[in-house]
With several copies, the nearest count.
Chain A
Amino acid sequence: MAVKIVFLGPLRDAAGTDSLEVPAPLDWEGLLAAVAPDLAEQLESARVHVACAGEVLADKTALEARDGDEVALLPPVSGG
């Protein structure tokens, strides 16, 4: 129980929860497996970004979350 996955904006509604704790380490495949299939599908869209330990990843598939890291799933920000 050492990596916290945080769902933001509309993804929070889709996940039905604010966050989820999963064992460390966590890579991209592990992340996709940890969330519901419809969320995994959204994650694969180029419009959803992933932050790890306070940094937005340039290549989210290179995710390597370690013990204590927070992984945030960032849908596109709102316009208006």
Chain B
Amino acid sequence: MATRSRCSLRSAVARLVLERPADVRLLEKGLSVGEALAAFNAAHERAGAIASFLGKVRPGEDVKALELTHYEPLTLPGMEALAEQALERFALDGVLAWHRVGTMQPGEGIVLVAAAARHRRAAFDAVDFLMDHLKSAAWFWKRERRGNHSDGGWHWIEPRDDDHAALARWTGDET
């Protein structure tokens, strides 16, 4: 993909400047899915297929807040390298990968990934690939605040075994 040049495009719809072919961000504040996808759509006007995934803080089980910490020297370079991998692996026009850090409330977006491609399968597979790798390899640690102030507290979220299973889906054809 050496012929791809990096440039940015101002979207008339969303007034958001996106980097192309990869727009990778760590956000300290709210993530507006409508604005982001309108801008991504406008930035990739010639792509026939745009797939996206939004992950949100799930309410329930007494969760009051989610805090996401990361290790800055690894996180953004890691996400950028992953975006480059997706661009090389799939026939894409572009990708977007945004991740929140800091403290979030239930219902807020944590992660937004989108891929623009000529064909649906490439766009879909790229989003799937990015999500599998972001969650398992991007060095984010999450803890939840549960219960009331008096008796509640912060609890770390343990790693999940099925993230490893998800990653294993991609390693077969990487050799």
Binding site for B on A (CB under 8 A): 6, 8-10, 13, 47, 51, 54, 56, 70, 72, 74-80
30 CB-based A-B contacts, threshold 8 Å: A8-B71, A9-B141, A9-B156, A10-B141, A10-B156, A51-B71, A51-B74, A54-B73, A54-B74, A54-B77, A72-B71, A72-B73, A72-B74, A74-B71, A74-B74, A74-B139, A76-B158, A76-B159, A77-B135, A77-B137, A77-B138, A77-B140, A77-B141, A77-B159, A78-B156, A78-B158, A79-B135, A79-B160, A79-B161, A80-B157
Contact between chains at B141 and A79 (CB < 8 Å): no
Chain A residue nearest to B161 (CB atoms) is A79
In the complex, A1→B108 CA distance in Å?
41
B residues 121-175 in Cβ contact with A at 8 Å: 135-143, 156-163
Q: Summarize A's interface: helix, strand, loop or mixed.
A: loop
Interface size of B in residues (CB-CB distance below 8 Å): 22
A55 to chain B, nearest CB (A): 8
Most buried by B among A6, A9, A76, A80: A80
Is the CB of B69 closer than 8 A to any CB of chain A? yes
Chain B residue nearest to A53 (CB atoms) is B73
- Residue of A6, A13, A80 near B160 (CB, 8 A) is A80
Residues of A within 8 A of B140 (CB): 77-78
Residues of B within 8 A of A13 (CB): 156
In the complex, A70→B72 CA distance in Å?
12
In the complex, A70→B73 CA distance in Å?
10
Chain A residue nearest to B142 (CB atoms) is A78
- Residue of A6, A47, A79 near B157 (CB, 8 A) is A79
